[in-house]
DNA sequence: AGTGAAAGAATCACTTA
DNA sequence: TAAGTGATTCTTTCACT
């Protein structure tokens, strides 16, 4: 992981549609060595995949809801079962196990409050052992990026 | 936005490295009409871009911190200035204006608690008018996807 | 790490339903 | 208005230096 690699990752995580030739020029390599580095970064797991990002608002999915959850169960078996259930819901785009007051946090993407309510009912009927839930509604997504802060 | 388009988006938002020929086969079109649809979806703003997703843990960026903020200022000028400042920080990968108790929420990606503390100091010295801040630490990212729940 | 050739994909003009 | 065919152009990939 040298400087070349970091530059390559930095460009590709912002725009993966640049042709290899341009990418190579940008980092001052010729195509083949640059290509070999990209392949290596894929093989070594730095690059997890290439995807297209969609516009949630354009698709009528402009509402993000953050759901914070508490449970009494703190054993691994319960967590595994719970995680499996929650992960299956397509509306759940992010899911974290937290320290502090709340045990879990989700980000749920839906079209509107009515759709969120449907999701909420689905969630509480399909999981057990939750002692507390709170939902916080986002009014506006001011920033959303998949680009990680790479050390330069 | 018909069924073809939805299928195309559904595939590309999970894997944008599939060749057009395969994509076309998967949705039962030949390459050109399929290609035209992809271009149209880009032009019309459904597709915001193509990116490579990196593995945060592999890069030593395994800590997500959720930062909730309150302010006294509820005018547009203050928000704009505040948003501009916060958006500039690369560590901030998500930034929402919220309803309810907290006015804003951030997701911040850092390497460890020490790095978060550096970010925290940077944040509070570069913004003004914040009346309350709380940080919640994620122990584990159980799910993270950029794929939106498209209606089928 | 680089060159140049071969293989493979994307793009386009044009045709057809 | 939308889909298909085939030719052209551009990109990626690879053997070799």
| Calpha distance A108→A60 (Å, rounded) | 14
Distance C11 C1' – B42 CA (angstroms): 16
**Nucleotide minimizing C1' to CA distance for residue B30:** D4
The beta strand positions in chain A, using DSSP E, are 47-54, 63-71, 92-98, 104-110, 130-144
Domains of chain B: 3-43 (1.10.10.10), 63-137 (3.30.70.920)
| Calpha distance B149→A117 (Å, rounded) | 16
Longest dimension (CA), chain B: 58
pLDDT at residue B152, as a whole number: 75
Q: Residue B64's beta-bridge partner residues?
A: B109
Task: Determine, for residues A141 and B47 on separate chains, whether the beta-carbon distance falls below 8 Å.
Answer: no
- Residue of B102, B104, B148 lying closest to A59 (CB–CB): B148
- Residue of A50, A137, A145 lying closest to B100 (CB–CB): A137
Per residue in A95-121, pLDDT (tens digit) is 999 999 999 999 999 999 999 999 999
Task: Determine, for residues A53 and B50 on separate chains, whether the beta-carbon distance falls below 8 Å.
Answer: yes
**Min CA distance, B119 vs chain A (Å)?**
12
Per residue in B44-83, pLDDT (tens digit) is 999 999 999 999 999 999 999 999 999 999 999 999 999 9
pLDDT tens, position by position, for chain A (152 residues)?
A: 999 999 999 999 999 999 999 999 999 999 999 999 999 999 999 999 999 999 999 999 999 999 999 999 999 999 999 999 999 999 999 999 999 999 999 999 999 999 999 999 999 999 999 999 999 999 999 999 999 999 87
Bases of chain D with protein Cβ within 7 A: 2-6, 10-15
pLDDT at residue A151, as a whole number: 84
pLDDT at residue B151, as a whole number: 84
Per residue in B78-122, pLDDT (tens digit) is 999 999 999 999 999 999 999 999 999 999 999 999 999 999 999
* Residues B109-136, mean pLDDT to the nearest whole number: 97
What CA dihedral angle connects B92, B62, A101 and A86, to 10 degrees? 100
Task: Determine, for residues A13 and B64 on separate chains, whether the beta-carbon distance falls below 8 Å.
Answer: no
| Calpha distance B110→A125 (Å, rounded) | 35
pTM over 0.85: yes
pLDDT at residue A60, as a whole number: 96
| Calpha distance A128→A82 (Å, rounded) | 8
| Calpha distance A12→A92 (Å, rounded) | 26
In 3D space, the residue among B132, B119, B71 whose CA is nearest the CA of residue B93 turns out to be B119
Distance D15 C1' – A45 CA (angstroms): 27
């Amino acid at each position: 992981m040298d400087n070349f690699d970091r530059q390559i990752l930095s460009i590709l995580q912002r725009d993966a549609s640049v042709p290899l030739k341009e990418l190579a020029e940008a980092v001052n390599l010729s195509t083949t060595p640059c290509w070999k580095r990209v392949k290596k970064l894929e093989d070594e797991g730095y690059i997890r995949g290439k995807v297209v990002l969609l516009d949630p608002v354009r698709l009528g999915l402009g509402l993000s809801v953050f759901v914070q959850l508490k449970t009494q169960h703190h054993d691994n078996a319960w967590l595994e079962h719970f995680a499996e259930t929650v992960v299956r819901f397509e509306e759940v785009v992010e899911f974290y196990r937290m320290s502090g007051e709340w045990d879990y946090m989700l980000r749920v993407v839906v079209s509107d409050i009515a759709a969120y309510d449907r999701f909420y009912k689905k969630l509480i009927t399909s999981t057990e052992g939750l002692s507390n839930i709170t939902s916080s509604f986002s009014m506006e997504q001011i920033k959303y990026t998949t680009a990680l802060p790479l050390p330069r």
